[in-house]
Amino acid sequence: MRILESKKGIEMVDQWVELLMFTLLIISFALSVSIGSLVFNYIVVFIFGLMSGRFLYYRRKTFPFYLIVFGGIVGYLIGVRYGSWKMTLFLFIVGTTISWYLHSKRIIR
C-alpha cells in the first residue's frame, strides 16, 4: 500500500483507466506483431473477443472497462501483419457477441 501514499500512487488512482488502456494497447500490439500466420491471427483475435465478451458482460454498467477493451483491440489492429484489419475486427466483434450471449443466457458462468 506504500505506493498509494506517494504522488505516483495518487496519479495511478486518478488515471487508472488511461494507464490500463495504454498498457493493454502496448501488450496487444506486441502480441499481434509477434503472430506469424493468418490462421493464428484470426484464432487469436476470436479468443480475444471471447475473453473481452466475458470481461465486459460482468462489468457492463461501468464505462471505463469499454475503453480498456477498446485500447486492446486498437493496439491489436495496429500490429496486424497477416490478413485484413476489417476481417480481424469482424472476428473480434463476433467473438465478443457470442461470449456476451452465452453469459447472458447463463450457459457459461
* Contact residues for another protein, defined by CB under 8 A: 31, 34-36, 40, 43-44, 47-48, 50-51, 54-55, 108
Residue 41 Cβ, how far from another protein at the closest point, in Å? 9
Residue 33 Cβ, how far from another protein at the closest point, in Å? 9
Which is nearer to another protein, 17 or 51 (by Cβ)? 51
Residue 47 Cβ, how far from another protein at the closest point, in Å? 5
Which is nearer to another protein, 55 or 70 (by Cβ)? 55
Task: State the Cα–Cα distance between residues 21 and 13, nearest whole angstrom.
Answer: 14
Which is nearer to another protein, 51 or 87 (by Cβ)? 51
Angle at the Cα of 10 from the Cα atoms of 9 and 14, rounded to 5 degrees: 115
User: Could you identify the residue written with the cell 484470426?
Assistant: 42
Identify residue 15 by its one-letter amino acid code. Answer: Q
Which is nearer to another protein, 21 or 32 (by Cβ)? 32
Residue 18 Cβ, how far from another protein at the closest point, in Å? 22
Q: Which three cell numbers stand for residue 70?
A: 477498446
Local structure of 105: helix, strand or coil: coil
Residue 108, Ramachandran bin (φ over 0: left; ψ between -120 and 50: alpha; else beta): beta
